[in-house]
């Protein structure tokens, strides 16, 4: 299923007048504060977030999985879903594939399809957290960190193969999230596990093409509950430094213990030029994968405030690779992703409203109250008309969720794919 611009613009017409009123009111208000509205809209239009292939079907928990009807059951259908999202939001211009779940059968057909949907291939993701069919060695006791050399070699070879697949698609980065760790005290020698991981990552890094980046993700716990080999940003940063210039830390919002100051981590990594990728989601307790901005929108804004500062002041840090990393059990995944994209754009727009010069002065004058006022005035501004305007100018929907429901897209997908299709890999 493919949406045309005229499908969308027809529905936009119904709410365009109301939108224009809201937009002009906000634009005038911001203009009086010398905020360059056109520049913010341009930044919003340029900001593209990758959709991972695993977010398009219903997720699951270790207790059960409740299927969502009309799920994409192959890579072509997954790309179609991202294409639908991108048509509506003009914000989802990239897809992130997971290997081996998404190995293309016909590379040129997949590339052609992505091109026609205006999608790029973002980072490719390796998988050494499960045993693959027919694999000789098991990752039950770890992959890149495993005490056994043959297991480590298999895991390294898998990552190298993922790079090769990504190269054929035009990806430029590999994300490694390592589930390795231990469930019981004494199970692992911490130093051996870390040294093995460093050596394995270096072996992968050595085969990385010159124009590629390696992203090293961290996570404090789960699936292991006693220790994780790459448990925090410091360990990831240390490993990235050990590998070299093309290796970076990847921050996933859900991979922190409660109340961790993620904005400070972002700031530190950007100062050091080592923040490479970013995974969006939200959480209440741990890696909950709840919709971006649904639980802690102010924290997301504070993180974006540091990201914007870094993007404007840290030329030593490369352009970031943005991705939503979430997988749900009860919502329509496409609707959830539209809510996530909206929350991301909202936090970004609000961060762009922060007057950095004024904030700097207030910080230097130790005017703590004013510092807070500057941030909160930006946060309390309803920026949704700016988001809608950016989408309108790019050919997207004023209200993506509204158009999705009005066009009965999920019903059409169920018609096309059947009720009980299941997303591969989940
Ligand atoms: Mn992640």
**pLDDT tens figures, 93-137:** 999 999 999 999 999 999 999 999 999 999 999 999 999 999 999
Q: State in Å: Cα 369 to ligand 1 middle.
A: 36
Q: State in Å: Cα 239 to ligand 1 middle.
A: 17
Q: State in Å: Cα 174 to ligand 1 middle.
A: 12
Q: State in Å: Cα 232 to ligand 1 middle.
A: 13
Chain position carrying tokens 């969308």: 8
SS3 category, 98: strand
Q: State in Å: Cα 324 to ligand 1 middle.
A: 8
Per-residue pLDDT reduced to its tens digit, 362-381: 999 999 999 999 999 999 99
Q: State in Å: Cα 69 to ligand 1 middle.
A: 25
Two tokens, residue 113: 């399809």
Residue 421 confidence (pLDDT): 78
Instruction: Among 19-28, 275-284, 321-330, 337-346, name the one with the lowest average pLDDT.
Output: 321-330
The yes-or-no verdict on residue 64 having pLDDT over 90 is no
282: phi then psi, degrees, rounded to nearest 5: -140, 165
Q: What is the CATH number of domain 48-354+395-417?
A: 3.20.20.150
Q: State in Å: Cα 54 to ligand 1 middle.
A: 11
Q: State in Å: Cα 177 to ligand 1 middle.
A: 7
Q: State in Å: Cα 231 to ligand 1 middle.
A: 13
Residue 404 confidence (pLDDT): 97
Length, in residues, of the chain:
426
Answer yes or no: are the C-beta atoms of 426 and 65 closer than 8 Å.
yes
Q: State in Å: Cα 420 to ligand 1 middle.
A: 27
Q: How confident is the model at residue 90 (pLDDT cuts 50, 70, 90)?
A: very high
Q: State in Å: Cα 10 to ligand 1 middle.
A: 37
- Cα–Cα distance for residue pair 337/95, rounded to 1 Å: 13
Q: What is the DSSP string of 310-365?
A: HHHH-TTSPPPEEEE----SSS-HHHHHHHHHHHHHHHHHHHHHS-HHHHHHHHHT
How many other β-carbons are positioned within 10 Å of the β-carbon of residue 160?
A: 16
**80-91: burial string, b at 16+ Cβ within 10 Å, e else:** bbbbbbbbbbbb
Residue 424 confidence (pLDDT): 63
Q: State in Å: Cα 36 to ligand 1 middle.
A: 34
Domain ranges of the chain: 48-354+395-417
Nearest CA to 289 out of 219, 237, 225 is that of: 219
Nearest CA to 278 out of 332, 244, 236 is that of: 236
Q: State in Å: Cα 242 to ligand 1 middle.
A: 22
Per-residue pLDDT reduced to its tens digit, 289-337: 899 999 999 999 999 999 999 999 999 999 999 999 998 889 999 999 9
Q: State in Å: Cα 154 to ligand 1 middle.
A: 22
What is the DSSP code (8-state) at residue 263?
H
Q: State in Å: Cα 309 to ligand 1 middle.
A: 23
Q: State in Å: Cα 217 to ligand 1 middle.
A: 7
Nearest CA to 391 out of 36, 92, 82, 94 is that of: 92
Q: How confident is the model at residue 425 (pLDDT cuts 50, 70, 90)?
A: low
Nearest CA to 341 out of 388, 381, 298 is that of: 388
Q: State in Å: Cα 278 to ligand 1 middle.
A: 8
Q: State in Å: Cα 53 to ligand 1 middle.
A: 12
Answer yes or no: are the C-beta atoms of 123 and 320 closer than 8 Å.
no
Q: State in Å: Cα 70 to ligand 1 middle.
A: 25
Q: Is 408 left (phi over 0), alpha (psi -120 to 50) or beta?
A: left
Give, as residue ranges, everything with CB less than 5 Å from ion ligand 1.
252, 279, 325
Mean pLDDT score across all residues of the chain: 96
Q: State in Å: Cα 254 to ligand 1 middle.
A: 8
Q: Is 293 left (phi over 0), alpha (psi -120 to 50) or beta?
A: left
- Cα–Cα distance for residue pair 302/339, rounded to 1 Å: 19
Q: State in Å: Cα 51 to ligand 1 middle.
A: 12
Q: State in Å: Cα 380 to ligand 1 middle.
A: 29
- Kindly state the average pLDDT of the residues 198-208: 98
Answer yes or no: are the C-beta atoms of 314 and 359 closer than 8 Å.
no
Q: State in Å: Cα 209 to ligand 1 middle.
A: 23
At CA 215, angle to CA 213 and CA 219, rounded to 5?
180
Q: State in Å: Cα 281 to ligand 1 middle.
A: 9
**226-238: burial string, b at 16+ Cβ within 10 Å, e else:** ebbbbbbbebbbe
Per-residue pLDDT reduced to its tens digit, 161-173: 999 999 999 999 9
Q: State in Å: Cα 171 to ligand 1 middle.
A: 17
Q: How confident is the model at residue 202 (pLDDT cuts 50, 70, 90)?
A: very high
- Kindly state the average pLDDT of the residues 249-270: 97
Q: State in Å: Cα 283 to ligand 1 middle.
A: 13
Answer yes or no: are the C-beta atoms of 73 and 421 closer than 8 Å.
yes
At CA 57, angle to CA 55 and CA 61, rounded to 5?
85
Q: Residue 210: which residues within 8 A CB-CB, separation 6 or more? A: 246
Residue 426 confidence (pLDDT): 53
Q: State in Å: Cα 191 to ligand 1 middle.
A: 25
């Amino acid at each position: 299923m493919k949406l045309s611009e005229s499908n969308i613009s027809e529905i936009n017409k119904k709410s365009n007048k109301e939108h224009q009123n809201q937009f002009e009111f906000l634009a005038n208000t911001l203009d009086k504060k010398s905020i360059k509205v056109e520049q913010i809209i341009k930044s919003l239009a340029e900001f593209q977030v990758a959709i991972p292939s695993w977010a398009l079907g219903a997720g699951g928990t270790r207790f059960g999985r409740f299927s969502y009807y009309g799920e994409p059951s192959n890579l072509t259908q997954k790309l179609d879903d991202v294409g639908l999202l991108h048509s509506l939001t003009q914000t989802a211009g990239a897809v992130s594939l997971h290997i081996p779940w998404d190995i293309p059968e016909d590379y040129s057909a997949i590339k052609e399809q992505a091109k026609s949907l205006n999608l790029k291939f973002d980072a490719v993701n390796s998988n050494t957290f499960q045993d693959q069919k027919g694999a000789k060695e098991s990752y039950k006791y770890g992959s890149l960190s495993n005490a056994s050399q043959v297991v480590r070699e298999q895991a390294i070879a898998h990552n190298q193969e993922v790079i090769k697949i990504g190269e054929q698609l035009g990806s430029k980065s590999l994300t490694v999230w390592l589930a390795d760790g231990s469930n019981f005290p004494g199970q692992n020698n911490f130093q051996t596990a870390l040294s093995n991981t460093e050596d394995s990552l270096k072996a992968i890094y050595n085969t990385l093409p010159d124009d590629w980046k390696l992203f090293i993700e961290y996570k404090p716990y789960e699936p292991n509950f006693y220790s994780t080999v790459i448990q925090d940003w410091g360990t990831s940063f240390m490993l990235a430094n050990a590998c070299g210039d093309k290796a970076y830390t990847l921050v996933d919002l859900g991979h922190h213990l409660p109340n961790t100051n993620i904005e400070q981590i972002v700031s530190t990594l950007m100062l050091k030029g080592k923040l490479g990728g970013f995974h969006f989601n939200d959480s209440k307790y741990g890696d909950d994968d709840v919709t971006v901005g649904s639980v802690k929108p102010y924290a997301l804004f504070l993180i974006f405030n540091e990201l914007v500062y870094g993007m404007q002041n840290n030329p030593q840090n490369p352009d970031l690779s943005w991705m939503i990393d979430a997988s749900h059990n009860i919502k329509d995944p496409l609707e959830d992703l539209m809510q996530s994209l909206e929350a991301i754009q909202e936090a970004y727009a609000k961060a762009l409203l922060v007057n950095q010069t004024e904030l700097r002065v207030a910080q230097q004058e130790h005017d703590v109250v004013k510092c807070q006022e500057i941030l909160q005035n930006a946060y309390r501004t309803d920026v949704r008309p700016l988001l809608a305007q950016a989408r309108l100018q790019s050919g997207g929907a004023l209200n993506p969720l509204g158009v999705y429901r009005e066009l009965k897209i999920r019903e059409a997908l169920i018609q096309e794919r059947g009720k009980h299709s299941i997303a591969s890999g989940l």
